[in-house]
Amino acid sequence: MTLLLKMLIGFILAIILHELTHLLVLVHYKIPIKSIIITKWSAFGFLVDNEKYINDSKILFLLHFLPLIWCLFYFMNTNEPYLLMFPLVNISGGVGDLYFYFRIISLEPEKRIEWANKSDEKILKSIIWKKELN
């Protein structure tokens, strides 16, 4: 297998596992998912009912930090190029997650839901594909 193909496989697996980790937290804590989206900027994600989690520190932390666990895959075998993609993808994708986490916790609880809903409105403007869930 060529180096480029191995890195492409690692890239795709890292994105899928990153988003599945977000989904696992959402499902575990029964946070309603309004829609699955693909945007210009964040590639793939979920729009959720912000009121269900926005003031729970534990859920906020897990939702935004748990996907970074995939960075540890690189240390299983540092000579494999596809495993290098796990920390690269998850750290670069995690930058947005970390921004949202620190931005949310810096706000007063009363203002968190308002900010989260405004962020969702901005995201809606950059959607390429959207699947509504009921």
CB 34 within 8 A of CB 52: no
What is the pTM assigned to this prediction? Answer: 0.89
What is the predicted pLDDT for the residue at 42? 65
**Residue 13 phi, psi (nearest 5):** -60, -40
> Which pLDDT tens digit goes with each residue over 89-101?
888 888 989 999 9
Mean pLDDT within 26-35: 96
Tell how many helices (H) and how many strands (E) occur in the chain.
4, 3
pLDDT band at 61; cut points 50, 70, 90: very high
List the one residue out of 39, 63, 34 whose CA is nearest residue 49.
Answer: 34
Q: Is the dihedral of CA 28, 18, 101, 33 positive or negative?
A: negative
What is the predicted pLDDT for the residue at 63? 95
The domain locations on the chain are: 3-129
